[in-house]
Amino acid sequence: MANTPLMPKATAVWLVDNTSLSFDQIAAFCNLHPLEVKAIADGEAAQGIKGLDPIQTGQLTREEIERAQKSPSATLKLSVPKTRVPEAKRKGPRYTPVSRRQDRPNAIMWLVRNHPELKDAQIMRLVGTTKPTIEAIRERTHWNAANLTPSDPVTLGLCSQLELDLEVEKAARLALSPVEQPEEVATLLPVEDTTSEEAMAAASTKPAPKQPAEQEYAAAAVFAKLASLKKDKSDEDEGEGE
């Protein structure tokens, strides 16, 4: 139930042990029978259940408990959660009630006209249709094409505005970041003609890359040269000092 706390028996155990609320108040809050709450207080029920603090779980406030303790006729009110748990993603095609299935072609026509950037898979997720139906409506070959009227799927109750906005935003991102390079841009890029005589001659004059052994030899020569220069500098400094 929506107005029942999480783990009602464990919550009742904690309320019995830590508050002066009446059995009726605890029973009404935890959706239990007053005799069951009395059995918990007498140790005849819920013996192996550890009490759950509803204050720490955000289901009650200390002020709400104190208010109910002062008035035996008052009822505890479940706190409104501060966070919203996102709905679990559906697996498989969207289920559409039978009474609204006749509205799907109108919704598809609206999506095709107003959001041509949407992929068929996105339209299928939004209104729970099939790809052949989308193609038939797009190509005006649907059996009832003459009687179709574009209608917003959100207004028809086939999807939520948030779902529609997310799909449109996703389609826009894909359109702004193409995977392949346009042919027009590719034709403007300079292409090196490796078959021409000039290119072959230029390639022949380029020094060949050094092998690892040659690179090590060159590095050793550089270090030796630096050491020699450093020694000469040191000798000059000693001569000036004398």
What does the domain layout of the chain look like in residue ranges? 8-70, 98-175
User: What is the per-residue pLDDT across 16-55, written as a single tens digit (0 to 9) for each?
Assistant: 999 999 999 999 999 889 999 999 988 888 777 888 899 9
pTM: 0.38
How high is the pLDDT of residue 24? 92
Name all contacts of 178-186 with Cβ < 8 Å and 24+ positions apart: none
User: What is the per-residue pLDDT across 147-158, written as a single tens digit (0 to 9) for each?
Assistant: 999 999 988 888
Separation between Cα atoms, residue 44 and residue 85, nearest integer Å: 36
Q: Which helix (H) or strand (E) holds 123?
A: helix 120-127
| Residue 181 CA from chain centroid, whole number | 28
Place of tokens 């040191």: 234
Cβ(35)–Cβ(42) below 8 Å: no
Separation between Cα atoms, residue 5 and residue 156, nearest integer Å: 35
Place of tokens 């009630």: 97
User: What is the per-residue pLDDT across 56-75, written as a single tens digit (0 to 9) for each?
Assistant: 888 899 999 999 999 888 88
User: What is the widest separation between alpha-carbon atoms in the chain?
Assistant: 110
Q: What is the DSSP letter of 142?
A: S
Separation between Cα atoms, residue 174 and residue 118, nearest integer Å: 10
Centre a 10 Å sphere on the Cβ of residue 9 and count the other Cβ atoms it contains.
16
User: What is the per-residue pLDDT across 82-139, written as a single tens digit (0 to 9) for each?
Assistant: 655 555 555 555 655 655 678 899 999 999 999 999 999 999 999 988 999 999 999 9
Residue 174's pLDDT band (boundaries 50, 70, 90)?
confident
Q: What is the average pLDDT value for the chain, to the nearest integer?
A: 76
